Amino acid sequence: MSPGKVYLVGAGPGHPELLTIKAAELIKMADVLVYDRLIQEEVLGLAKPSVERIYMGKPLSRHDSRQDEIHHVLLEKAREGKLVVRLKGGDPFLFGRGGEEAEFLADHGIPFEVIPGVTSALSAPLSAGIPVTHRNNASCLAIVTGHEARDEETRLDWAALARMDTLVFLMSVKNAGRVADRLVANGKAPETPAAMIQMAFWHGERVLLSTLGRLAADVEREGIRPPATLVVGEVVRLGERFRNLPRDLKRREDGSSRFQPAPAPDQLLRLATAGMGSQAFGLALENGYFDRLEEASPGGALALEWGLDPQAAAELLECLVALGLLERTPEGYRNLEMASRYLRSESDQSLRATLLVYARQSGSWEDLARYLREGGKGHVHGGEGEASQEACDALARFSAPAVADRLDLGSCGSVLHVGWGGEAYRRTIAERWPEIRFAHRNPFAGADHFPRTFPPWDGEGAHHGAVLLSGVLKCCNRGEVQRLLEKASKALGEGGLLAIHDAFLPVNVLPPPEVVLGGLARHVHQGGCRTWSVDRLRDSLLALGFESVEAHALPAATVLVTARRSAPPLAEGPVS
């Protein structure tokens, strides 16, 4: 097989809108994405569902390199004939070891190309309003690694650096004090302004303003952590004028834990749901589902043919889509090439028998099979206790700014929030739209079971400009969801916005695999409620007179559905 091609692609400082058009196109086309720690979920979310994602980041606490492993993966995937996108933070050739990867690929005869990216060396200062050069006081700039500040064998000429107008140090948080000492020892004034910009263009961006003399103490006191970029020079003062201007590339207040030396939430989820992935895979192999999916078939027809609960079967099929084995087309589900070639018993290249042995070793799929036969019939949410309530609140806190980013509430007048994370939503909305009145109600707080009778919502009767339901639908059975939607509809004025943020089983959005696997795992193990899919929700909203129903995947591994109320609301009906 002739080798595929590897693209070493700069992903910019993190914000998806700072990707180049070429980078976005390549991500969408990639068969394999090999990526590091500093890549945001929204950027990865551009890829097609069947993309193979390979995470090669290392925890920030570890300095040993995984470079050999990275080289090996690039080589192996290219030799499989794949289009491989190696995504690197910022620009691939600035302190990113992109040069080594290019050399390695050239040595092994693999076709490759390098796509530049917006480097953090320039964009992190910019994000703090600091222009790195200026006609009046900065005509030159040096970009320097902070790693060598403690190194006696350093190749850096500190006397020359101290004469530069502007200095930008990457990877310098740990050595900030030593960097400052070296510069002062070589002639820079201790009063020279310095700024440390942490997580530029990410959730929780922070800017520390200091001077060389105070830098070490300030970084320590403020708990600045990598990734952060240090700027030294008179230009830092210029930033003050521009720092707080409103801007499209917004910063968000939360999510700072993304950079703690711990697994990112999506990795945790992936670890937690890996078992479910292999169970779904094993069960589908055992029952020969891939044999029957050469032609596209609708999920409902397949469920009937296979004697399965339709909702549970739809979840399994979505799970196989998320695993990159099936694709969902307007005509229904059908094998992707790998499933046709290796997983069908009739295929010449079938590895079915071998794979089944491996899948069986990784766990039993009895629970999943039972769930597929019976679905969640007769189950009503039984309450998941305090831990679950805390988890719902934590998820809402994490997501509130991302939800607000996607909603334009500017002309709403008043917002009724129902569900988890009331305080987080109140704060986020008040910061962005101080004039909006905010009412909140959580029918689940402290309840073990969903309340059979709905207490009246605050402000009910009044017509709100927007109703925001967060994290409540996944706790409801079908009748309860219907009733909540009717209440929301009644609380909205004509043209009012309904926004539903929840852990749906997503359809027509591109969820990361762990979301789909996690949803199915929750159902199988808790035997619980029948979570609403986006499709089913869309039908209910249209029947209630809503229009413009849209679904968006959010970085916190959840889905936001929005709709506008057009027709007058229906009268409230009994819970079915």
Ligand X SMILES: C[S@@+](CC[C@H](N)C(=O)[O-])C[C@H]1O[C@@H](n2cnc3c(N)ncnc32)[C@H](O)[C@@H]1O
Positions annotated as catalytic residues are: 36, 58, 171
Is the backbone of residue 187 left (phi > 0), alpha (psi -120 to 50) or beta? left
Q: Please report how close the Cβ of residue 95 comes to ligand X at its closest, in angstroms.
A: 4
Q: Please report how close the Cβ of residue 8 comes to ligand X at its closest, in angstroms.
A: 11
Bridge-partner residues for 228, per DSSP?
Answer: 198
Q: How far apart are CA 46 and CA 24, in angstroms?
A: 7
Q: Please report how close the Cβ of residue 43 comes to ligand X at its closest, in angstroms.
A: 12
Angle, helices 513-526 vs 366-374, to 10°: value is 80
Q: For residue 554, give Cα distances in angstroms to 156, 325, 400, 404, 413.
A: 43, 23, 10, 11, 25
Residues that bind ligand X (CB under 6 A): 13-14, 38, 88-91, 94-96, 119-121, 124, 170-171, 197, 199-202, 226-229
Asked if 549 contacts 562 with a C-beta cutoff of 8 angstroms, the reply is yes
Taking CB atoms within 8 Å and a gap of at least 24, the contacts of 290-296 are 290/325, 290/335, 290/339, 290/340, 290/343, 290/344, 291/344, 291/345, 291/346, 293/326, 293/333, 293/334, 293/335, 293/339, 294/334, 294/335, 294/340, 294/344, 295/334, 296/329, 296/331, 296/332, 296/333, 296/334
How many Cβ atoms sit within 10 Å of the Cβ of residue 69?
12
Burial bucket for residue 282 (CB in 10 Å: 0-12, 13-18, 19+) = buried
Nearer to ligand X (CB atom), residue 195 or residue 403: 195
Nearer to ligand X (CB atom), residue 202 or residue 504: 202
Nearer to ligand X (CB atom), residue 173 or residue 339: 173
- Residue 371, CB-side half-sphere exposure with 13 Å CA sphere: 28
Residue whose CB is nearest to ligand X in the complex, by number: 90
Nearer to ligand X (CB atom), residue 30 or residue 170: 170
Q: Please report how close the Cβ of residue 13 comes to ligand X at its closest, in angstroms.
A: 4
Q: Please report how close the Cβ of residue 555 comes to ligand X at its closest, in angstroms.
A: 15
Give residue for tokens 């399965």.
308
State both tokens at 161: 């650096």
Q: Are strands 112-115 and 5-10 parallel, antiparallel or unpaired?
A: parallel
Q: Please report how close the Cβ of residue 349 comes to ligand X at its closest, in angstroms.
A: 40
State both tokens at 474: 């996944």
Q: Please report how close the Cβ of residue 200 comes to ligand X at its closest, in angstroms.
A: 3
